Amino acid sequence: MTSAEGKPDAGANEADLCISKFPRHDWSLHHQLRSQLGLSDDVDLHCCGGKDRSNGRGCWVLDQLIRLNEIISRGRIQLIEEHPGEVTLCSWNTSCYRSSCLSHRVILFLVEHHSCIVHFNFGRVRQAMMKEILSAMSRRTDLLSFSVTEVIVTSIVTSTGYGLRWGGSSLPCCIEQGIIDLIDDCNSLTAFELHEDKMRPSGAERLGLILSHKRSLKKLSLRNEYGIRVFLESCSKQSPDDVNLEHICFPNCNSMCMTHLAEVLVTNTTITYLDLSGNRWLSYGCSKDDGITAIARALHSSKSVETLILVNASIGPRGLKALADMLLENTSLSSLDISQNYVPSDECVHVAEAVRSTTTLKMLKLHDCRICFAGVKSILLALKENCSGLSVDFGSHWSIDCTPLEVLDLILAEKVDRVPFNWTAGIIKKIGYIPEWCQEVRVSLSNDNLRANKLLELKQYLQSASAKVSSLNVRCSEGSEQVCLRLAGLLSRRGTIEELELNCKPVHVNVLKEFAEAAAANTRLRKLRFGMFTRQGMARPVGIIKSIPLADTLRKSKTLEAMECDLIFNRHALREFSKHLEENYALTELKFCIRNENFDIVRKRHHIGRRNTVLQQQALHFVLCDTMVRRWAEAFSLTHDTATLRRKVQEATGKCAEDAECLVRAKWFTLCINFFKITEVVKERIVCNLSSPGAMQIDRLDLPLLAHVASFLKVHDIKVDSSHPR
């Protein structure tokens, strides 16, 4: 697909460009980028725009994020503007591809030359790619965050398509040295994560020392025990003002490291999040009571730590008692997770006393703690006396000597409404109703052991004003069409369901369409997962006949944020499905089952979710920032009416749903008023002069009229020709 001079053919399509080999010259890469991005020849691709990183105005990379994501999708890389003017590069299960691929070359070019890309998050990345990226980043000193989850070294490929590293091998020396040198040169680093257990002792020691002297560091996650110990020993010798960490995650942290961490916590006033979870296999039989006790003692007077996670941390009796005593005096901790730690009956007394007396703790997780029934009862009775809003989550395995029904009988008898659990078909069948005082209800049922009349009673409850069901999971092997129609009727009415999962036998296309229309019209439904299975339990193939009506209705949804279809789409059906969903800007997660995967179709499927993720994040910046950047305004004009954006505003501001709605509406009015200025149609104001004799002259356009005109337009509808003065 290239000419004799090595230049790309004018008629070459995008797929051909992505797999063709080109000479490694800047002019060749620049020509391809300009051609695919629609940039003029006078645009300097090495230039990263203005110096103001707060909004990135004038940066072509930020303005072309969606199109760039399409180009680099073959490399399984995504660019997201998570922070205003700052781009995050994310990788996932990076495949092995040739270095001449356009995706690969563009990635390396952007990493090397563009300072707007300051956040890097690599997940399951291959050694060859990681080495080249580190080489391209060798001259960068402006990184803000860097994360590596796993480096795949060998070329072995399993049946799932993932590479493996030889057991017992440590992080490759070239990768380890490259990461250490990169971190050493970055003086403004705020976050660093390296999820690698095994490193060379010399490398781990140097990394720990370098990180301990980074005063800008706010978030740190390490897995190597020696590196953690060196880091903490160095921090304990420094002045408290030199350690500004806020978020710490040290999995597999041993007792000695915890002791050093406790010394830091005594004087530190910035750490708010602490994760010291263990590993079931690496820490089996190793008690960490000394370290846990030291941490608990340090937290007695701490006024900064809000979250403490000790999942599978090998907590013994002394450690549990120390944590319970700490909760009686601590005034800052709001969340404690000690799941997968054995809590014997003797220690349940101390836990119950802490539950009864604490005033700041809001969530206590005790998943899979093998608590006896007497212990569960004492904790529930203590929770009933707590008036500070504490919730206790026992998970799905509550007790070792009783059934969930016995515990549920106790909950109903005592009316304890702050214990989340799933209402199963068996529980509903035995009790026959869901109490109105239950604050939040998760229902999981199958009509195999739940009669139709009980399902109807459940439907009546869900439609009542007192219903607070947030999650509903239905699996049925008989009467699938009847169940679908009843769920459609339920969704068509205003309710509280945010997550719905439906697994049933194949239904008629009209029934499927009615269910999809109800799901699309619902104003609360956030996540939807549905599948149709044959009698043998296999996913049902879906053709165009069912895929088009389904996609046509779902594209209208403004509320759905995540959707997973356990339906086997053939190639034509998936192509049509993706085509119809192009007009949906609310969905950010899409998962499908397909046969004979074709890369172009799969890329199109993923593009919708990635595109919407970028648009939603940029729209959030437009809502929260005072600066009216065109790309943010363009994203907001496409997503302002989606519930996904409103949820993002809620999460970012902590406001209630009504306040978030008002904020979005206010920004929509601001966009309409300033539409022609944002789109650069005018510089400051609109002035209409008499153009020719006999023509009508408009002397003034007032703000309501401007807003009315702008309400019919999208930002991307306005194409500004830079060659003509405005």
Going from the C-alpha of 531 to that of each of 391, 502, 510, 595, the distances in angstroms are: 33, 6, 16, 15
Q: Which residues sit opposite 247 in a β-bridge? A: 219, 273
Going from the C-alpha of 535 to that of each of 87, 392, 567, 623, the distances in angstroms are: 48, 40, 14, 49
Residue-wise pLDDT for 601-636, tens only, equals 566 667 888 899 999 999 999 999 988 888 999 999
Give the pLDDT of residue 183: 95
Architecture label for domain 421-596:
Alpha-Beta Horseshoe (3.80)
Share of the chain above pLDDT 70, in %: 75
Q: Which of 106-120, 159-173, 206-220, 284-298 has the lowest mean pLDDT?
A: 159-173
State the Cα–Cα distance between residues 471 and 450, nearest whole angstrom: 18
Residue-wise pLDDT for 413-447, tens only, equals 888 888 887 777 677 777 767 777 776 778 877 76
Strand-by-strand arrangement of the 273-275 sheet: 77-83, 86-92, 117-123, 145-148, 191-194, 219-222, 247-249, 273-275, 307-309, 335-337, 363-365, 391-393
State the Cα–Cα distance between residues 104 and 125, nearest whole angstrom: 13
Share of the chain above pLDDT 90, in %: 37
DSSP classification of residue 723: T
User: Higher model confidence: residue 572 or residue 71?
Assistant: 71
Residue-wise pLDDT for 129-141, tens only, equals 888 899 999 889 9
Domain boundaries, the chain: 14-196, 421-596, 616-717
Give the pLDDT of residue 707: 65
Contacts of 692 (CB under 8 A, 6+ apart): none
Q: Which of 69-78, 511-520, 710-719 has the lowest mean pLDDT?
A: 710-719
Q: Which residues sit opposite 471 in a β-bridge? A: 442, 499
Helix axes 703-710, 657-673, angle to 10 degrees: 100
Mean pLDDT of 258-280: 89
Residue 241: exposure state from Cβ atoms within 10 A (0-12, 13-18, ≥19): exposed
Q: Is 568 helix (H, G, I), strand (E, B) or coil?
A: strand
Contacts of 683 (CB under 8 A, 6+ apart): 677, 726
Q: Which of 208-217, 292-301, 536-545, 550-559 has the lowest mean pLDDT?
A: 536-545
